[in-house]
Structure 1
Amino acid sequence: MTLAKIASYPLAVLLALSPALAGPPRGMDQAAEKSAAAGQLQKVEDAIRVLEEMMKESDKGIPVGLIEGCAGIAILPDVIRAGLIIGGRHGKGVLLVRTKDGGWSDPTFVDIKGGSIGWQAGVQSADIILVFRTPRSIENITEGQFTLGADAGVAAGPVGRTAEASTDSELKAEILSYSRSRGLYAGLTLQGSSLQEDRKANRSFYGTDVSPKDIFEGRAKAVPEAAARLKSALAELVKK
């Protein structure tokens, strides 16, 4: 609706239209904000669940040595495979990085999108775990978005609690990828998938606009308690 057209309306019509022109009531905005925050909180709870279940599957999971020495880890619960023929995947999750004192940062939210390459037969939904082996691979996400395999080398990771990266692709990869479905782990091919920051989710979770860099460096304000439980679960996983 143009300003000229609005100006041509009688005053009574403009008064009747004023609520619509002003946009949704503040109460509706607050309800939407609360709903979005609850959604991000649930995503963190789902990531905690994945880590706790990984602790119970220590003999067949991701090698502990890789997690101990990694620069960061992304947990994307219940990534959905879209379509049976064309394929595709889409999912959201959290990324934590190592801090200077050897602990873990608060989580930044991330979004993954890509093709269907690498899915196990019959799998419609799976948890995806990405192990970032170098600081450079982490720096890519602070720039907003990068493509796995192009901006950072990625390979399906070795499985088994004491296994080590051994193949040429595993040794060279900056990121090792895993899928977990119904308690079974497998290396996952993610070449060509894009990983990007989810700025809206960060804003919903932390209550204000905050960049991944600020989150990683501990500058996020009003951090929800669930973030501390997520970091604790990750620390316990490494101890197992």
Structure 2
Amino acid sequence: MNKKLLVALVCSAVTLPAVAQNKIDNRLGDSAEVLKQILAKEDGIPQNLLDKSVCVLVFPAVKKVGIGIGVTYGRGVIICRSGTDMNGPWSAPAMYKLDVGSLGLQLGSSSTDYVLLVETKTGAQKILSGKLKLGADATAVAGPTGAKAVAANDPGVDVLTYSRAKGGLFAGASIASASMDTDDDANKAVYGKNITATEIVREGAVTVTPAGKALDSILRKASPKRSASAN
């Protein structure tokens, strides 16, 4: 009986890390697929705003947990342009968390994809520093789509936010009261060591893993260079 218990414990110790790694790999894959679909839409994220951005965050299939007020918590990724001025190639992805529970019924769906464009270096620094609340710590507004994008050139806006409800339309979304934070456990699982989001996306301390290559490829193709007008 003791031998059986020992074998079971050993098997669990081996299986749990593998399960966790699969979930993280799926997160990277799902994030890439969401971004690919949205960038392919004619009325999706405007090219000029993507080219201006210094970072992109993707949170696929954010779900509401619980009955009534509940908690809405999503896990996704952030990827930024490298270099001191954030004008270089896209970095390896860092794992991030999003909490939009305070928005309550505004979500309108049990499963929602979120894409956030960080338009300023100041906004990127605030987000990468750790937990922050959009609207309070960094200015955030619903991102424009299509022709409306020509008016979106406010230098005081750090983050443009978008959402796509399951089975619904992609559009700008007001999530100014949402909070974000680094997912340190997931980053450690991906890169095999304790590492901060800043070290991943700003300091180039790691290379893109096989699971993250799809996301990296999509952004490098969609926006290989940051717009000169954004510098």
Q: TM-score interval w.r.t. the shorter chain?
A: 0.7 to 0.9
Alpha-carbon distance in structure 2 between the residues aligned to 1:95 and 1:165: 26
Alignment of 1:153-232 (within 5 A): 153-160=139-146, 163-166=149-152, 172-181=156-165, 182=167, 184-216=169-201, 217-220=203-206, 223-232=208-217
Percentage identity across aligned positions? 28
Q: Give the letter aligned to residue 119 of structure 1.
A: Q
| Residues 61 and 113 in structure 2, CA contact (< 8 A), matched pair in contact too | yes
Q: Say whether residues 1:119 and 2:106 are aligned partners.
A: yes
Partner residue in 2 for 1:138: 124
| Residues 56 and 117 in structure 2, CA contact (< 8 A), matched pair in contact too | yes
| Residues 210 and 220 in structure 1, CA contact (< 8 A), matched pair in contact too | no
- Give 1:26 shift: 4.8
Q: Say whether residues 1:29 and 2:16 are aligned partners.
A: no
What is the TM-score normalised by the length of structure 2?
0.82
Alpha-carbon distance in structure 2 between the residues aligned to 1:195 and 1:120: 17
What is the TM-score normalised by the length of structure 1?
0.79
Alignment of 1:21-100 (within 5 A): 25-57=9-41, 59-82=42-65, 85-86=68-69, 88-100=71-83
Over 3 Å counting, the alpha-carbon distance change for 1:165 and 1:129 in structure 2 is farther
Q: Say whether residues 1:106 and 2:89 are aligned partners.
A: no
**Where in structure 1 are there 5+ consecutive unaligned residues?**
1-15
Superposed CA deviations along residues 14-73 of structure 1, whole A, max 9, x for unmatched, are xx8xx89xxx9454223211111111000000011112212331x110111111111100
Alpha-carbon distance in structure 2 between the residues aligned to 1:76 and 1:165: 26
Q: Give the letter aligned to residue 36 of structure 2.
A: E
Alpha-carbon distance in structure 2 between the residues aligned to 1:29 and 1:116: 38
Over 3 Å counting, the alpha-carbon distance change for 1:102 and 1:189 in structure 2 is same
Aligned residues: 214
Superposed CA deviations along residues 204-231 of structure 1, whole A, max 9, x for unmatched, are 122222111111122126x421222211
CA RMSD of the aligned region, Å?
2.5
Q: Give the letter aligned to residue 114 of structure 2.
A: I
- Give 1:140 shift: 1.9
Alpha-carbon distance in structure 2 between the residues aligned to 1:83 and 1:226: 31
| Residues 143 and 173 in structure 2, CA contact (< 8 A), matched pair in contact too | yes
Alpha-carbon distance in structure 2 between the residues aligned to 1:120 and 1:145: 22
Q: Give the letter aligned to residue 147 of structure 1.
A: K
